[in-house]
Amino acid sequence: MNGSGILDRRGTIFIVLVLAAGVLVPASNLLLSPSSPFYVSDYLVPLLGKYLCYALLAVAVDLVWGYCGVLSLGHGAFFALGGYAMGMYLMRQIGARGVYGNPVLPDFMVFLNYKELPWFWLGFNHFPFAALMVLLVPGALAFLFGWFAFRSRVTGVYLSIITQAMTFALMLAFFRNDMGFGGNNGLTDFKDILGFPITAGTTRGALFFASAIALVGGYLICRGLVVSKYGKVLVAVRDAESRTRFLGYKVANYKLLAWTLSAMLAGVAGALYVPQVGIINPGEFAPANSIETVIWVAVGGRGTLVGAALGALVVNAGKTWFTGVLPEAWLFALGALFVVVTLFLPRGIIGLWGDVSERLRKPKPDQVPEAEAPAKAAE
């Protein structure tokens, strides 16, 4: 049951928790002594930060899948493009400190005998420009793709498959050395960001905090959209697309807006991800990654935003744990998760939680709508 305001109870709890983590995790890492039981290790901070980025990606996917019915199997591409934009900034910050000591060209270009910087690398030495590209590049690609796809009314499985083809094509492209993005190895060996050493505890803490803020911000933007009338139209499109057209709504535009915004959020997630894991390579474009993202959303609960974020955190925590304890079993577990969730948990953890808590409270069936009615009328 979604509340109708931007901030319902679930959303508020979510925001408070994320913000609290955003402050407490870096604080305990920086201020507490390693012997304290609450100390968060240097290893854990970027790992948790990575989870937050995944959560933001999941929220972005949920906006289009949960509310608009567009199952994207290519959001990993937007995530990776955002990551590459950030990676290019970080590469250029290395300057003459690279192995080859070239003040302008990144190491891999020197290695590949580049004489000068390719044009698309220009400007990435400025952070604001790079930050803009983090939004614009995924946004522009999504806009172009969506403009063609939604106008020609490609829907359902067909759309999913061509999003997958899109990320697959990009992966092949980025694997090529002559694309000018470092080929196989991608971009790595970053030194600093905005002048701060990238591996320093304070930088890590700041990046973690920034990821928490981005997650909350992304959530609020999506939440604002879905509770607006725009969001209602979006859900109408999801459930009965052609009926919505006969009411006079330009369905393609509605989808395009959500789709492009979602891609930009994915780009931001990727951009925050790269400095925390220290590398971006074409593997991020792999179709499998995008599909995995979808399962985070499904696990948490499609069409709930908070659920998507929750699913990303739970599944990735599980992945970390599994690959540490039983690396062989991880793919079995992930595979089983896909099957179990689609078969038995169509509404994910959030839906399950809702069912359980409802059963515990056992309200009279009529009471719920009655109780909500005055609240709505009072708006």
Partner 1 sequence: MEPIAQSLLYLDNISVVFDGFRALNKLSLTIEEAEMRAIIGPNGAGKTTMMDVITGKTRPTAGEALFAGVHDLTTMDEADIAQLGIGRKFQTPTVFDMHTVEDNLLLAVKSDRRAFANISWRRTSHEKARIGELLERIRLKDQRHRKAAELSHGQKQWLEIGMLLAQEPRLLLVDEPAAGMTDQETADTADLLRDIARTRSVVVVEHDMQFVRDLDVKVTVLHEGSVLAEGSLDQVSANERVIEVYLGR
Partner 2 sequence: MSLVHRLQTAMLLLAAVVLLACAAPASAQTPAAQPPSADLAPALEKIAADSYSDTEAALALLSTSTSPQAAVIVAALADGRLLIDAATKSVYVRAADGTLSAAATGATVSPAPAGLKAVRLNNRVRRAIDAASGALSLLAPEPARRAEAAAAVFKSRDAAALPTLQAAIAKETIPSVREALEQARAAILITAPGISEADRLGAVKLVTARGDQEALALLSNLPADATPAVKTTAEQGVAAINRSLAMWNVAQNVWYGLSLGSVLLLAAIGLAITFGVMGVINMAHGEMVMLGAYTTYMVQDVIRTSYPGLFGWSLAIALPLAFLFTALVGILIERLVIRFLYGRALETLLATWGLSLMLQQAVRTIFGPTNKEVGAPSWMSGAFQVGQLSITYNRLWIIVFALIVFVALLVVLKRTSLGLYVRAVTQNRRMAAAMGIRTGRIDALTFGLGSGIAGIAGVALSQIDNVSPNLGQGYIIDSFMVVVFGGVGNLWGTLVGAFTLGIANKLLEPFAGAVLGKIVLLVCIILFIQKRPRGLFALKGRAVEA
**What gap in Å lies between CA 21 and CA 213, rounded to an integer?**
10
**What gap in Å lies between CA 359 and CA 115, rounded to an integer?**
69
In whole angstroms, the minimum distance from the beta carbon of 313 to partner 2 comes to: 19
Please tell me whether residue 70 binds partner 1 under the rule CB under 8 A: no
Among 13, 118, 196, 239, binds partner 1 (CB under 8 A): 239
In whole angstroms, the minimum distance from the beta carbon of 105 to partner 2 comes to: 24
For partner 2, which is the closer residue by CB, 127 or 175? Answer: 175
Residues 199-238 that bind partner 1 (CB under 8 A): 224-225, 228-230, 232-233, 235-236, 238
For partner 1, which is the closer residue by CB, 197 or 224? Answer: 224
Interface residues with partner 2 (CB under 8 A) are 71, 145, 148-149, 151-158, 160-162, 164-166, 168-169, 172-173, 175-176, 287, 291, 294-295, 298, 328, 331-332, 334-339, 341-343, 346
**What gap in Å lies between CA 374 and CA 24, rounded to an integer?**
39
Element (H, E) at 197: strand 196-197
158, interface contact from partner 1, partner 2, none, CB < 5-8 Å by kind: partner 2
For partner 1, which is the closer residue by CB, 178 or 379? Answer: 379
For CA atoms 239, 55, 305, 257, the dihedral sign is negative
For partner 2, which is the closer residue by CB, 89 or 174? Answer: 174
In whole angstroms, the minimum distance from the beta carbon of 231 to partner 1 comes to: 9
Which CA distances in Å does 93 have to 174, 175, 190, 199, 375? 21, 23, 8, 14, 53
For partner 1, which is the closer residue by CB, 151 or 319? Answer: 151
The string of DSSP codes covering 24-83 is HHHHHHHHS-TTSTTPPPTTHHHHHHHHHHHHHHHHHHHHHHHHH----S-HHHHHHHHH
154, interface contact from partner 1, partner 2, none, CB < 5-8 Å by kind: partner 2
For CA atoms 310, 315, 319, 322, the dihedral sign is positive
Which CA distances in Å does 191 have to 71, 85, 283? 37, 16, 22
Which CA distances in Å does 35 have to 26, 199, 200? 16, 21, 20
In whole angstroms, the minimum distance from the beta carbon of 342 to partner 2 comes to: 4
In whole angstroms, the minimum distance from the beta carbon of 154 to partner 2 comes to: 5
For partner 1, which is the closer residue by CB, 105 or 233? Answer: 233
Element (H, E) at 132: helix 127-151
251, interface contact from partner 2, partner 1, none, CB < 5-8 Å by kind: partner 1
Helix axes 156-175, 287-300, angle to 10 degrees: 130
In whole angstroms, the minimum distance from the beta carbon of 108 to partner 1 comes to: 42
337, interface contact from partner 2, partner 1, none, CB < 5-8 Å by kind: partner 2
In whole angstroms, the minimum distance from the beta carbon of 235 to partner 1 comes to: 6
The string of DSSP codes covering 223-291 is HHHHHSHHHHHHHHHHH-HHHHHHTT--HHHHHHHHHHHHHHHHHHHHHHHHHHHSEE-GGGG-HHHHH
236, interface contact from partner 1, partner 2, none, CB < 5-8 Å by kind: partner 1
201, interface contact from partner 2, partner 1, none, CB < 5-8 Å by kind: none
240, interface contact from partner 1, partner 2, none, CB < 5-8 Å by kind: partner 1
Residues 103-162 that bind partner 1 (CB under 8 A): none
Residues 256-315 that bind partner 1 (CB under 8 A): 257
Which CA distances in Å does 265 have to 53, 233, 258, 283? 10, 21, 11, 20
By rule CB under 8 A, what string of x and - marks binding of each residue 245-264 to partner 1?
A: xxxxxxx-xx--x-------
Name the residue with tokens 């995944």.
54
Q: Is 299 in contact with 345 (CB distance < 8 Å)?
A: yes
**Cα-based torsion angle of the residue sequence 106, 107, 110, 114 in order, rounded to the nearest 10 degrees:** -40
Site residues, partner 1 (CB under 8 A): 224-225, 228-230, 232-233, 235-236, 238-240, 242-251, 253-254, 257, 369, 372-373, 376, 379
